[in-house]
Amino acid sequence: MKKFQILTSRLIPLPHNDVDTDQIIPARYLKVIDKSGLEEGLFAGWRYLPDGSPKPDFPLNQPQFQGAQILLAGDNFGCGSSREHAPWALVGWGIRAIISTSFADIFRNNSLKNGLLPIIVDEETHQQLFAMVADDPSTRVTVDLDAQTVKLPNGREAAFPIDEFSKVCLLEGLDQLGYLLKNEEKIAAFEQAMEK
Amino acid sequence: MPQPKTLLQKVWDVHVVAKDQASPSILYIDLHLVHEVTSPQAFSGLRQKGLRVRRPDRTVATMDHSTPTLSLSLALADDMAVRQLRQFESNCSDFGIPLYDLEHPERGIVHVIGPELGLTQPGMTIVCGDSHTSTHGAFGALAFGIGTSEVEHVLATQSLLQYRPKTYLVNFDGQLQPGVAAKDMILALIAKIGIGGGTGHVFEFAGSAVRALDMEGRMTLCNMSIEAGARAGMIAPDDATFEYLAGRQFAPRGAAWDAALDRWRSLPSDAGAVYDKSVTIDASKLEPMVTYGTNPSMGAPISQPVPDPEQEADPAKRAALEKALRYMDLQPGRPLTGHPVDVVFIGSCTNSRLSDLRLAASLLKGRKVADGVRLLVVPGSENIRRQAEAEGIDKIVRDAGGEWRYAGCSMCIAMNGDQLQPGQYAVSTSNRNFEGRQGKGGRTFLASPLTAAASAITGKVTDPRTFMS
Ligand code: SF4
């Protein structure tokens, strides 16, 4: 997993609440056996016109948001299916962090395992960020994972929560499976006791 | 006196392998269900790292999402689906995992066959790379969906890193009216608390209306917990649970059964157990429910008109409703009953069990599907298909002008060619009405099997009670 430490980037605004993983990547893109190329299906239903050409007013297609690495999303982002293809597609497109007021549980878990940082901010910061991007699409924020802050251009710092374990894994780029494998003996002992 | 515990706490506590201060618990997983869509990258991960599957005997695989339902051969499947299914076969055989493949007589939707085979048992921890794993909570198991990274974790270590979720007691008191079913209960709950209302929590469904449900209805209820954001829903096991399980293929037998019963009887929440949240719904006041929008919380009693965004005070909700009605092309204030439908889908892990098919058949018997309407009935498993055929349900469906298919996810997720065309309307017994879920540009009204069957007959969204007086 790629390390996540400090990220300064523009924001891509997607002001809808309850964006489900079927929108993030529709099921027709899930017939793959690896993780590559999924970014083509990212927001496919909203991003393309019926003929397959890019829909000009969708933020991902707009020149001012190319290369941006932070998605500014509405409340309860990532609800619905457990498909990890959703964070894979986002990461494949170049997204490294998502700022919202809340995330669905499974999506949040999946993101944390792919170096994609879900950032929960308060309502006021959330609205302020949307206003700033509407005003100036080149607005940049700095995410500091170690300090657990998002720094706004006006100097304001918004704190965000993250559990210590996920934070260390992201900062160091550690795969959580390694941790589980290190506990093999405990797992074996548990199995023995349980199956007796 | 020991602290009173909830059902969730009891199941959780006996599965904690280890708990460090600064990290989540290591939770042992009793049963891991695997399907073709969310597992390939996990198996690749194992291969790259040179790892084995720790407990193939606690792992069960089935093919369901991208499988054809017109025949049991791959001849009609598209190349991508075939490649994925073939890869799945080699993954299962290389790692020694039992697979219910296309030819297997007991194959079916992962959340249908688990209970049906008696694999799903009270007090277990069960996971699958699939959010509707919540279904298995109907037996008093802690069952939840995971992503593919976690599928790899469980394959390799039979364990997961987890924080204990919060608890949310959902009481359904009173007796359901005729024509109202488990599907209507869960749609009513989701409409009430919202699509994120259960986030961070596990539901425990309780109350007289839940006790009165058979196991199939309880599965429908738990199945859609995730549609309110709760990763799991649980129901305390009781005699109905034990009767359902007795004699099933993988259920314990003899002395092991007696021992299991003793354990299972101790699972219900203790009197005085404390929940983080709770809600009570009067089940006797519920009507058949139908969704009008593009997520499962956008639903209402079938007699209600389509809501008007202008009446919505919260700007975010108003915007969401406007966007949904635009996609659905529905007029605010107009009744939903009477709205024309193109397709009726009866199936999915929510409502594809024998009791669901029987209910649908009870209305379809001796009647015809309306002209121009396509009715697709897809049993949840091959077992269910054969049982239904033995009862003549296939004939009732075909005589009515409907299509009777082999088991699979089918039009619930539209990965296998069973799908809506852009702009079409469907009444569907599945669980998600997200934009494009049943096919690009397709529009979904979620409802119960009774409502679906009634709508197939009239060709319009129809209150099933009009057929029942
Ligand atoms: S029937 Fe639908 S919801 Fe259930 S497992 Fe299949 S695709 Fe998922």
Per residue in A160-176, pLDDT (tens digit) is 999 999 999 999 999 99
CB count in 10 Å sphere of residue B13: 11
Q: Looking at beta carbons, which residues of chain A come within 8 Å of B163?
A: 163
Helices (DSSP H) in B77-204: which residue ranges?
79-95, 110-116, 148-157, 182-193
CA-wise closest residue to B264 among B249, B244, B278, B282: B244
DSSP 8-state code for residue B53: P
Confidence of residue B265 (pLDDT cuts 50, 70, 90): very high
Q: Do A181 and B156 touch (CB under 8 A)?
A: yes
Q: Do A104 and B436 touch (CB under 8 A)?
A: no
- Whether residue B278 contacts residue B169, with contact meaning beta carbons closer than 8 Å, is answered with yes
The per-residue pLDDT for range A71-91, each reduced to its tens digit, is 999 999 999 999 999 999 999
- pLDDT exceeds 90 at position B22: no
Q: If you average pLDDT over residues B460-469, what whole number do you get?
A: 94
CB nearest A110 (choices: B130, B147, B440): B147
Phi-psi label, residue B426: left if phi above 0, alpha if psi -120 to 50, beta otherwise: beta
Structure tokens at B58: 């606690």
Q: If you average pLDDT over residues B96-110, what whole number do you get?
A: 97
Sheet order of strands, B201-206 included: B232-234, B201-206, B166-173, B277-282
- pLDDT exceeds 80 at position B332: yes
Angle at A186 between CA A180 and CA A190, to 5 degrees: 115
**If residue B60 lies in a helix (H) or strand (E), which one and from where to where?**
strand B59-62
Q: Do A28 and B415 touch (CB under 8 A)?
A: yes
Strand bridging mode B277-282 / B166-173? parallel
CA-wise closest residue to B268 among B296, B235, B301: B235
CB nearest A187 (choices: B17, B23, B38): B17
Residue percentage of chain A with pLDDT more than 90 = 97
**CA A99 remoteness from chain centre:** 8
Please give the number of the atom of ligand 1 that sits closest to the Cα of B352.
Answer: 1
Q: How many angstroms away from the CA of B162 is the closest CA of chain A?
A: 10
DSSP A119-158: EE--HHHHHHHHHHHHH-TT-EEEEETTTTEEE-TTS-EE
Structure tokens at B241: 């649970």
What does the alpha-carbon distance between residue B451 and residue B449 come to, in Å, rounded to a whole number?
6
Distance (angstroms) between ligand 1 centre and the Cα of B154 equals 21
Longest CA–CA separation in chain B, Å: 66
- pLDDT exceeds 80 at position B469: no
Strand partners, B31: B126
- Whether residue B37 contacts residue B415, with contact meaning beta carbons closer than 8 Å, is answered with yes
The per-residue pLDDT for range B199-212, each reduced to its tens digit, is 999 999 999 999 99
Structure tokens at B421: 């065309």
What does the alpha-carbon distance between residue A155 and residue A138 come to, in Å, rounded to a whole number?
16
Distance (angstroms) between ligand 1 centre and the Cα of B136 equals 13
The per-residue pLDDT for range A8-30, each reduced to its tens digit, is 999 999 999 999 999 999 999 99
Please give the number of the atom of ligand 1 that sits closest to the Cα of B64.
Answer: 6
The per-residue pLDDT for range B44-81, each reduced to its tens digit, is 999 999 999 999 999 999 999 999 999 998 887 899 99
Phi, psi of B175 (to 5 degrees): -105, 135
Distance (angstroms) between ligand 1 centre and the Cα of A35 equals 21
For each of the domains in chain A, give its residue range(s) and CATH number, in order of start: 6-195 (3.20.19.10)
Structure tokens at B200: 């961070």
- pLDDT exceeds 70 at position B177: yes
pLDDT of res. B1: 67
Q: If you average pLDDT over residues B135-140, what whole number do you get?
A: 98
CB nearest A17 (choices: B316, B422, B436): B316
- pLDDT exceeds 90 at position B23: no
Q: Looking at beta carbons, which residues of chain A come within 8 Å of B434?
A: 20, 22-23, 80
pLDDT of res. B58: 98
Confidence of residue A133 (pLDDT cuts 50, 70, 90): very high
What does the alpha-carbon distance between residue B258 and residue B51 come to, in Å, rounded to a whole number?
37
Confidence of residue A1 (pLDDT cuts 50, 70, 90): confident
Q: Do B320 and A17 touch (CB under 8 A)?
A: yes
**If residue B395 lies in a helix (H) or strand (E), which one and from where to where?**
helix B393-399
Quick check: pTM over 0.90?
yes
Distance (angstroms) between ligand 1 centre and the Cα of B35 equals 11
Q: If you average pLDDT over residues A105-133, what whole number do you get?
A: 97
- SS3 assignment, position A36: coil
pLDDT of res. B21: 78
DSSP B203-242: EEEESHHHHTS-HHHHHHHHHGGGGGT-SEEE----HHHH
- Please give the residue of chain A at the shortest CA–CA distance from B432: A80
pLDDT of res. A114: 97
Q: If you average pLDDT over residues A50-54, what whole number do you get?
A: 94
Q: Dihedral of the CA atoms B191, B196, B200, B206 (nearest 10)?
A: 0
